[in-house]
């Protein structure tokens, strides 16, 4: 399964296409793990700086909120991390499903606010 789009994303093309494979047949767990792995990767500084200001702002906000929430697990040890691809969508952070792309060339991931 080739994932090459995110529903409602304003980017002209999906910058992180990825493929989920399993020679014994793709299962739901394979798809979910593939999505998690694709969006959990750190964003390099040159990529971050190439984004429009609005996306940078959304990513920074989401990153700060994610670190705040994870710091609640151990208040004595603040959670330290880097901006990740999942942060680039800001508050649109909940997985809502997948569907074939309009042109049939892959799969679209849908995220939402709830």
8 A C-beta contact, residue 92 and residue 111: yes
8 A C-beta contact, residue 16 and residue 35: no
Structural domain for 102, as ranges? 2-112
8 A C-beta contact, residue 1 and residue 107: yes
Q: For residue 87, how far is the Cα from the chain centroid?
A: 7
| pLDDT, averaged across the chain | 91
Indicate the pLDDT class of residue 47, thresholds 50, 70 and 90.
very high
SS3 content of the chain, % helix, strand, coil (to 5): 35, 20, 45
> What's the whole-model pTM score?
0.84
Residue 62: exposed, middle, or buried by beta-carbon count in 10 A (0-12, 13-18, 19+)? buried
The number of distinct structural domains making up the chain is 1
Indicate if the pLDDT at residue 10 is higher than 80.
Answer: no
- The predicted model gives 2-30 an average pLDDT of 91
């Amino acid at each position: 399964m080739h994932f090459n789009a995110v529903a409602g994303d304003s980017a002209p093309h999906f910058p992180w296409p990825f493929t989920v494979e399993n020679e014994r047949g793709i299962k739901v767990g394979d798809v979910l793990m593939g999505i998690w792995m694709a969006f959990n990767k750190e964003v390099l500084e040159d990529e971050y700086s190439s984004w429009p200001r609005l996306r940078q702002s959304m990513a920074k906000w989401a990153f700060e909120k994610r670190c705040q929430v994870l710091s609640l697990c151990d208040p004595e040890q603040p959670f330290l991390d880097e901006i990740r691809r999942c942060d680039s969508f800001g508050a649109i952070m909940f997985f809502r499903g997948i569907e074939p792309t309009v042109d049939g060339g892959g799969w679209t991931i849908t995220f939402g606010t709830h």
